[in-house]
Amino acid sequence: MSLEEIFAFHEQEVGPIRFDEPFGGWVATRYSDVNRVLTEHEVFSSDELRYSTQPIPHSSNPLLRGLQATDPPRHHALRRIVSQVFTPRAVASLEPLIEAKVDALLASAGSTFDLIGEVAYPLSVHTIAGLLGVRPSRWPDFVRWTEAITSFFGTFAADETRQAAFHQALTEMGAYFREEFERPEGIIGTLMTSDLTEHEVIDFCTLLLINGHETTKSLLVNAILCLVSRPKPADMRSAVEEVLRYLPPTGGTDRFVTRPTTLGGRELQPGQRVVAMITAANRDPGVFADPHTFDPNRKSNPHLSFGHGIHFCLGAHLARMEVRIALTALLDRPWRITDLDTHRTPVGIDVLKVTLAPGRRAAD
Ligand code: HEM
């Protein structure tokens, strides 16, 4: 897939809510509809196991039991516990560690390297593993487990090999977390002193790994795709926000109707699925001027890439910081990117080769 094709893939149509027969649910694309679905959690529930009237393909998915799949009051209680470990202070204290990690990864990469395999992937997994309090000697296991888990969710059809690898990874990770309960550190330590059960702690740690890893990796890759042929942005923070709007790592998120309601003039029934299309809402011309243009200096940018409302992404500060640091290091070096080799698969871009050659970036 070429860069142009990847960009075109994100140019989704914005229009009235519609029922998609093959998908078996409603698709909301307007900013106002998507925002309402995300905000009105009493009408649009995150609890698929409770409200969905359709068969659930990955019912063993730990994400279906955790924070992201619960409604209040359970959600408030869980969120209060985990917010204690995700304070802005705790995240800011990771900054020097992430800088050192990025430097080390770039130093050990050759002049031509796969940005995903050699930088983005280890950076995101190691950061979360470090935050969780996992011993560095076990980080490679975390990379392996995360790969098995995320590649299983990326499959659309039943795939027995991936399913077996997924269950194996969950079992091994659960066993590891149980071992860690003997020497609690990091988030695991804090969670263990809360009133969560052992199972809930394991589910939450798994949720963090799955949520925080693939998305952060994609954000860094997407930032490179957007910025490769442009001058280095003067304001890296607003550039990262624009990458989030323009190529959001999470295309959409599902909700389940709890009671009869109307949305965009259509009648919705209890149990029906509604997908809130973040990709489309971020290109709504009623909210974003010139929405299909990537503008790293965009002033007003209320994108929905981290969601909205009570489920707003817990790791948003961490992801922004990680990507800003990695991007600054990559674009600051007296090198330039000379080759991009992208392959898109159903699970996303798998390989992104960059060559960093001596000299300033050509576009500077
Ligand atoms: C929730 C996106 C990074 C942890 C969400 C949601 C979105 C999102 C859209 C809301 C889902 C919904 O409403 O159904 C992203 C993106 C990221 C990112 C685009 C990177 C660029 C991270 C990181 C972590 C994390 C690094 C943790 C280390 C979570 C958690 C939730 C969440 C725990 C559930 C919050 C709740 O239900 O209260 N994320 N995320 N995310 N994210 Fe992220």
pLDDT of residue 94: 87
Average pLDDT over residues 297-325: 95
The DSSP result for 3-14, as a single string, is HHHHHHHT----
CA distance 285 to 303: 12
Q: What's the Cα-to-Cα distance from 259 to each of 28, 31, 43, 186, 270, rounded to whole Å?
A: 17, 22, 6, 41, 5
Do residues 236 and 223 touch, judged by C-beta distance below 8 A? no
In DSSP terms, 268 is beta-bridged to 261
Average pLDDT over residues 286-312: 96
| CB neighbours of residue 6 within 10 Å | 15
pLDDT of residue 73: 94
pTM for the full predicted model: 0.90
* pLDDT greater at residue 102 or residue 126: 102
pLDDT digits 0-9 by tens, 241-284: 999 999 999 999 999 999 999 999 999 999 999 999 999 999 99
Q: Is the predicted pLDDT of residue 293 greater than 80, yes or no?
A: yes
Residue 277 CB less than 6 A away from ligand 1: no
Q: Measuring CA to CA, which residue among 245, 199, 212, 240 is closest to residue 331? A: 240
CA distance 336 to 357: 5
Q: Is the predicted pLDDT of residue 172 greater than 80, yes or no?
A: yes
pLDDT of residue 348: 54
pLDDT of residue 272: 96
Using the mean position of ligand 1's atoms as its centre, give its distance from the Cα of residue 208 in Å: 8
pLDDT of residue 300: 93
Binned at pLDDT 50, 70 and 90, residue 357 comes out as low
Beta-strand pair 44-45/273-277 = unpaired
- Cα–chain-centroid distance for residue 201? 20
3-state secondary structure 262-317: EECCEEECCCCEEEEEHHHHCCCCCCCCCCCCCCCCCCCCCCCCCCCHHHCCCCHH
H or E element in which residue 351 lies: strand 348-358
pLDDT of residue 228: 80
User: What integer best gives the mean pLDDT of the chain?
Assistant: 84
| CB neighbours of residue 141 within 10 Å | 16
Low-confidence winner among 56-65, 77-86, 189-198, 216-225 (lowest mean pLDDT): 56-65
Residue 256 CB less than 6 A away from ligand 1: no
pLDDT of residue 336: 64
CATH tag, 3-356: 1.10.630.10
Tokens at residue 81, please? 């516990």
Q: Is the predicted pLDDT of residue 347 greater than 60, yes or no?
A: no
pLDDT of residue 335: 64
pLDDT of residue 160: 80
Average pLDDT over residues 95-101: 93
Counting Cβ atoms within 10 Å, is residue 254 exposed (0-12), middle (13-18) or buried (19+)?
middle
Low-confidence winner among 1-10, 152-161, 312-321 (lowest mean pLDDT): 152-161
Binned at pLDDT 50, 70 and 90, residue 178 comes out as confident
CA distance 357 to 48: 49
Residue 62 CB less than 6 A away from ligand 1: no
Using the mean position of ligand 1's atoms as its centre, give its distance from the Cα of residue 318 in Å: 10
pLDDT digits 0-9 by tens, 108-149: 887 778 888 888 888 988 888 878 778 888 888 888 888 887
Q: Is the predicted pLDDT of residue 344 greater than 60, yes or no?
A: no
pLDDT of residue 111: 77
Q: Is the predicted pLDDT of residue 305 greater than 50, yes or no?
A: yes
Using the mean position of ligand 1's atoms as its centre, give its distance from the Cα of residue 207 in Å: 9
Using the mean position of ligand 1's atoms as its centre, give its distance from the Cα of residue 360 in Å: 35
Q: Is the predicted pLDDT of residue 339 greater than 80, yes or no?
A: no
Tokens 């640091």 found at: 325
Q: Measuring CA to CA, which residue among 335, 139, 324, 147 is closest to residue 235? A: 324
pLDDT of residue 202: 79
The domain locations on the chain are 3-356
Ligand 1 site-directed mutation target among 131, 306, 321, 323, most atoms within 8 Å of CB? 306
Binned at pLDDT 50, 70 and 90, residue 154 comes out as low
Using the mean position of ligand 1's atoms as its centre, give its distance from the Cα of residue 112 in Å: 31
pLDDT of residue 301: 97
In one-letter notation, the amino acid at residue 99 is: E
Asked whether this complex has an ipTM greater than 0.95, the answer is: yes
pLDDT digits 0-9 by tens, 33-68: 999 999 999 999 999 989 988 876 665 565 667 788
Tokens at residue 236, please? 């890296």
Do residues 307 and 38 touch, judged by C-beta distance below 8 A? yes
pLDDT of residue 363: 45
